[in-house]
Amino acid sequence: MKAQPTASHFIDGTWVEDAAGRAFDVVFPATGEVIARLHEATPAVIDRALAAAERAQRDWARLRPVERGRVLRRAADLIRARNADLSVLEVLDTGKPIQETEVADWPSGADALEYFAGLAPTVTGETVPLGADFAYSIREPLGVCVGIGAWNYPSQIACWKAAPALAMGNAMVFKPSEVTPLGALQLAAILTEAGAPPGLFNVVQGFGGVGAALVSDPRTAKVSLTGSVPTGRKVYAAAAEGIRHVTMELGGKSPLIVFEDADIDSAVGAAMLGNFYSSGQICSNGTRVFVHRAVKARFLEALKVRAEAIRLGDPLDPGTQMGPLVSAAQVAKVRAHVDLALREGARLVTGGAGEGMFVPPTVFAEVTDAMTLSREEVFGPVMAVLDFDDEAEVIARANATEYGLAAGVFTADLARAHRVVAQLQAGTCWINAYNLTPVESSFGGVKASGVGRENGRAAIEHYTQLKSVYVGMGPVDAPY
Ligand code: NDP
């Protein structure tokens, strides 16, 4: 099998197999070819991973931050040197086109490792003058962190969680989605090669039950999940049972607002990136595109021409711009949404159901707020275009959702751009851009889209806890 890893799991610095775990196939979505067969982690494997992480974390936390950073920096360099091969593996695992994975997946993971490597030595506490006495604070690691990933950006998600966790002195046990289990194993091997001590970053495979076992284990101090809102609710509740820290990166139904004075070509380009990149399987996508009625015709005309020119095909071909969806289950879900949008009265501008594992870039116009397409996350290349007439109206409609992951505004009037963004209920906003998520800037959602932040300085707070130390400088004045 062309992508069979050495073993299913990576624990305590080495590959681990336990054939007693349920076997599952890894499929290249473009052809249906089975590229690897792995085993789900048994309770013994889970226990081994957590025990290894607990052991490794104690010594790792005692290193100077600059020494920890050096390991992460080396891992980033190794990833960059091997980006070509890693990107092919990512294509096989996810079905995304090689022209995307080569620039977006592992490279952004390497950025995260490099960024947090540099940030680690800058994390300090504060001193608090208290007259003759004083207090100081220390940012301490949490301990063993559990990372649970979704299937859409498997290697990037693993890096985005591992980098801040390890930089701050934690260890991690990571469970990828069983749909895309291969990239995280490579990260574990690369970190080990870069000098990470055995047990610092472990990968165990499995379905939701393995994630649930990790979340409820008493050795787990923190859980960072990227996934859907229903899974987020379950994982958050399970973590609450043990008063564990959480980061929840969940779904969205984000608005992208195009005002009448916007640069229409840029707005069309952004709407396409925010709906068709990765076959639309991106949580922060701007799937409700509100277009001012005055420019709607122009917007739709340009969009149709450009969407129909997108080249679908073999994701390993460098000329391919859009690959298949990740799984047959996801294809069925997306097609059901296309059918429902038609039945609910949306107008199909281009695209449709597609064939096999492929769904073409699809645009619906005359979508209303009440339609299912405006309310539910599709996670496929299906754009809903909605009309609007004025600013206050579009802000209210943009916010009328349980989600709050992201939002975008296109306008030439920068005062309006900032005024609108200030009122949008979203954790990540773009002005005259969309879906750019550089590691230097924090990322995350509000409302049902999540809690906590990844990336940027903000991530430090989600992988550390604060210790306050009061220092008495004189005799204790007790009244008894
Ligand atoms: P899921 O929510 O189904 O799964 C996410 C992960 O959680 C998987 O590894 C899954 O394992 C695991 N899991 C499922 N049930 C439990 C449980 N009870 N306890 C612990 N872990 C569990 O998401 P998908 O993988 O289907 O990914 C798509 C979703 O992720 C979309 O809805 C999207 O919006 C969201 N997403 C959010 C992002 C963000 O940053 N906000 C980024 C990317 C995706 P298994 O796969 O075996 O079920």
Check if the beta carbon of residue 113 is closer than 8 Å to that of residue 83: no
Please give the distance, rounded to the nearest whole angstrom, from the Cα atom of residue 211 to the centre of ligand 1: 10
Please give the distance, rounded to the nearest whole angstrom, from the Cα atom of residue 54 to the centre of ligand 1: 25
Please give the DSSP secondary-structure letter assigned to residue 389. Answer: -
Q: Which residues participate in catalysis according to the annotation? A: 161, 249, 283, 454
Please give the DSSP secondary-structure letter assigned to residue 469. Answer: E
* Residue 148, both tokens: 């649970």
Whole-model pTM over 0.85: yes
Q: E strands within 285-326?
A: 288-292
| Ligand 1 neighbour 283 (Cβ under 6 A) | yes
Check if the beta carbon of residue 311 is closer than 8 Å to that of residue 322: yes
pLDDT of residue 449: 98
Distances 294 to 17, 201, 203, 384, 463 between C-alpha atoms, Å: 61, 53, 52, 18, 47
Residues β-bridged to residue 408: 256, 430
pLDDT of residue 1: 87
**Between β-strands 464-471 and 450-451, what pairing exists: parallel, antiparallel or unpaired?**
unpaired
Please give the distance, rounded to the nearest whole angstrom, from the Cα atom of residue 153 to the centre of ligand 1: 11
Please report where in the chains the tokens 């969009």 appear, as a residue: 303
Residues β-bridged to residue 358: 355
264-315 tens-digit pLDDT:
999 999 999 999 999 999 999 999 999 999 999 999 999 999 999 999 999 9
The CA angle 27-31-33, to the nearest 5 degrees, is 45
Distance in angstroms (rounded) separating the CA atoms of residues 449 and 427:
9
Q: 136 in the Ramachandran plot: left (φ > 0), alpha (ψ -120 to 50) or beta?
A: beta
Closest CA to ligand 1's atom 31 = 228
Closest CA to ligand 1's atom 11 = 208
Check if the beta carbon of residue 257 is closer than 8 Å to that of residue 293: no
pLDDT of residue 322: 98
96-109 tens-digit pLDDT:
999 999 999 999 99
* Residue 395, both tokens: 């802000």
Please give the distance, rounded to the nearest whole angstrom, from the Cα atom of residue 338 to the centre of ligand 1: 22
Closest CA to ligand 1's atom 9 = 177
**Residue from 8, 174, 177 to probe ligand 1 pocket by mutation (most atoms less than 8 Å from CB):** 177
Residue 153 CA: which ligand 1 atom is closest? Answer: 43
Residue 248 CA: which ligand 1 atom is closest? Answer: 41
Residues β-bridged to residue 382: 362
Please give the distance, rounded to the nearest whole angstrom, from the Cα atom of residue 235 to the centre of ligand 1: 10
| Ligand 1 neighbour 21 (Cβ under 6 A) | no
Please report where in the chains the tokens 């579009």 appear, as a residue: 394
Residue 251 CA: which ligand 1 atom is closest? Answer: 34
Low-confidence ranges of the chain (pLDDT < 70): none
| Ligand 1 neighbour 234 (Cβ under 6 A) | yes
Distance in angstroms (rounded) separating the CA atoms of residues 171 and 340:
45
Please name which of 40, 93, 326 lies closest in space to residue 203, comparing C-alpha atoms.
Answer: 40
What angle separates helix 154-167 from helix 106-119, to the nearest 10 degrees?
10
Distance in angstroms (rounded) separating the CA atoms of residues 385 and 291:
7
| Ligand 1 neighbour 134 (Cβ under 6 A) | no
Q: Counting every residue, how long is the chain?
A: 480
